[in-house]
Amino acid sequence: MALLDTVVMRGLSNQGALSTEDKAFLLELELNPRHMSASEVLWLENGQADLFCVVKEGWGYSYRNLKNGSKQILKFYLPGDIIGIRDFGFTRRLASAAMINDGVIYPFSYQQLFELFGRSSLAVGIMATAMRQQALLSERLVYLGKYAAHEQLAHFLYEIYLRLKRIGAVEDNSFLMPLTQELIGDALGMSPVHVSRTFSMLREEGLVIRDRQHVKLPDPEALARLVEFNDSYIDEFLPSAFSELLRATP
């Protein structure tokens, strides 16, 4: 029962929180264990997201390949860890995953996970929202790790731009951003002075016009190109991933 070997589950089980039904359900969930060899890829970025795995033996990791040829590792997975719930709520993988050394994993389908949430698509929605937040966090981590200040800031502004656009708070490529440069610095891990420098840089390149809280991106697409913005993680119409599942489970 691989899922039971998960740290949290083991805790729940010890406390008697898992009902007999729960345990029966877990057994039902179980697919075949899969033996993996070192460096074997579990899935690639943009691949179909339809399952997650419990790592039984060996180490794995998830990572994003970057435009400059390097990669940013998001997380190492040790035995007992669950790999791949990150993408629950998305149709495609946001990051690749691979093994480091030989190991054994137990795959579970999202479909099964979905059934687990029972009748409430509300619960699914909450879960999806949480995963979407995590996606934003991961993306920021990637930029913190490997990109230069002007790329980070461009990425940050573009993200805000997209998120505001979703809720109709962008007009004529302009929006209100009630942040001081100090706050932005605290978010991007850079000194306020350098935030200012970097804003000046972007201004000179005609990418960002800013007057206090008023921000205008004259050419959002240019910004997006600069940072190779992968908007699937923010713009994807999440629930579509569920509508299929909903159809499958009447």
Partner DNA sequence: CATTATCCATAACCTATGTTAAGTGAGCGC
Partner DNA sequence: GCGCTCACTTAACATAGGTTATGGATAATG
Contacting residues toward DNA, per CB under 7 A: 148-150, 180-182, 189-194, 196-197, 199-200, 210, 212
Tokens standing for residue 162: 């997209």
Q: Pick between residue 25 and residue 34 the one whose CB is nearest to its own copies.
A: 25
Q: If binding is defined by CB under 8 A, does position 157 make contact with its own copies?
A: no
Q: If binding is defined by CB under 8 A, does position 56 make contact with its own copies?
A: no
Cα distance between residue 69 and residue 166, in whole Å: 31
Q: If binding is defined by CB under 8 A, does position 206 make contact with its own copies?
A: no
Q: If binding is defined by CB under 8 A, does position 195 make contact with its own copies?
A: no
Candidates 22, 30, 40, 45: give the one binding its own copies (CB under 8 A). 22
Minimum CB distance to its own copies, residue 224 (Å):
19
Please provide residue 16's backbone torsions phi and psi, each rounded to the nearest 5 degrees.
70, 20
- Alpha carbon separation from 36 to 40, 59, 227 (Å, rounded): 6, 10, 34
How far, in whole angstroms, is CA 175 from its chain's centroid?
25
Candidates 188, 195, 202, 217: give the one binding its own copies (CB under 8 A). 188
Cα distance between residue 62 and residue 68, in whole Å: 18
Cα distance between residue 56 and residue 2, in whole Å: 7
Of its own copies, DNA, none, which one does residue 199 interact with (CB within 5 to 8 Å by kind)?
DNA
Candidates 130, 193, 222, 248: give the one binding its own copies (CB under 8 A). 130
Q: Could you tell me if 142 and 134 are in contact, meaning their C-beta atoms sit under 8 angstroms apart? A: no
Cα distance between residue 41 and residue 78, in whole Å: 16
Minimum CB distance to DNA, residue 220 (Å):
20
Q: If binding is defined by CB under 8 A, does position 27 make contact with its own copies?
A: no
Residue whose entry in the numeric block shows the structure tokens 């729940």: 12
Q: Pick between residue 134 and residue 198 the one whose CB is nearest to its own copies.
A: 134
Minimum CB distance to DNA, residue 152 (Å):
7
